[in-house]
Chain A
Amino acid sequence: QLQLQESGPGLVKPSETLSLACTVSGVSLTSSNSYWAWIRQPPGKGLEHIGTISYTGTTYYRPSLKSRATISLDTSRNQFTLKLNSVTAADTAVYYCAYGLPGGQWTDYWGQGTLVTVSS
């Protein structure tokens, strides 16, 4: 049974770094043709793609976040992580991790989401 689960602090101070992990069970992060993404949703607003990392470690980022975001694979824990530095209140959102396949296919395997609030 493939499952994704986000984890990390629910509260981050302004100007600090937001760090989240997505633990994947049921499939290896390095399985051929797998893609792993972070998507966020500010309260009461729509979805926003942050970035994607492929099974080879190639990354793609939303242009407006590219300078602040880093997504990486931790194969020893079968996790992929998100670091977003210099956060502001505008980064307050529910953060989801998700699993994709080639051919533009986002699967139905998403984490349940974790709320991160940026506040002093």
Chain B
Amino acid sequence: QTVVTQEPSLTVSPGGTVTLTCASSTGAVTSDYYPNWFQQKPGQAPRALIYSTINKHSRTPARFSGSLLGGKAALTLSGVQPEDEADYYCALYYGGPWVFGGGTKLTVL
């Protein structure tokens, strides 16, 4: 069974920079996995941030960016705001089904 792994939790100070990563049990993540990133706040539906590794949706703030880093997909937040405190999920494509990571709980403190 394919497993996608994210950091369970991260803490960042307001104004700081943090990178969340997304690894695949099948090996290095490449653009062929079309990494997507989502933000979810309590009681809300997920909100799409990044698709196909680096592309932002129209409402995605400029401080969010996607990349590939060391064989993983990565989401970097630069100049973190208090409202960025949320759960973040990545999703990878495996030729039909998608697999979500377990999520990263980001605390802004």
Question: Is A103 interfacial (CB-CB < 8 Å)?
Answer: yes
A65 to B: closest C-beta gap in Å: 9
* Complexed CA–CA distance, A61 and B38 (Å): 21
Q: A106–B55 Cα gap in the complex (Å)?
A: 11
Using A96-B46, A105-B51, A105-B55 as known contacts, say yes or no to A63 and B97 having CB atoms under 8 A apart.
yes
Residues of A within 8 A of B (CB): 37, 39, 46-49, 51-52, 60-64, 96, 103-108, 110-113
Note all chain A residues with C-beta closer than 8 A to B35.
Answer: 104
Pick the contact of A104 from B51, B58, B100, B101 — CB < 8 Å? B51
Contact assessment for A112 and B36 in the assembled complex, using a CB-CB cutoff below 8 Å: no
On chain B, the residues within 8 Å of A111 by CB distance are 45
Between-chain CB contacts (< 8 Å), 5 pairs: A46-B102, A49-B98, A52-B97, A61-B96, A107-B57
Separation of A73 and B14 alpha carbons in the complex (Å): 45
Q: In this complex, what residue of A is CB-closest to B87?
A: A46
Residue of A nearest to B103 (CB): A46
Q: How far is the CA of A60 from the CA of B98 in the complex (A)?
A: 9
* B99 CB, min distance to chain A CBs, angstroms: 7
Total CB contacts across the A-B interface at under 8 A: 68
Task: Let me know if B64 is at the binding interface, CB within 8 A.
Answer: no
B52-69 contacts to A, CB under 8 A, are 52, 55, 57-59
Contact with A along B5-49 (1 / 0, CB 8 A): 000000000000000000000000000011110101000011110
Interface string of B78-103 (1 = CB under 8 A from A): 00000000000101010011111111
Q: Known contacts A63-B97, A96-B45; is A49 also within 8 Å of B102 by CB?
A: no
**Known contacts A62-B97, A63-B97, A103-B34; A47/B48 CB under 8 A:** no
Residues of A within 8 A of B93 (CB): 104
What chain A residues lie within 8 Å of B99 (beta carbons)? 49
* Residues A112 and B45 in contact, CB atoms below 8 Å apart: yes
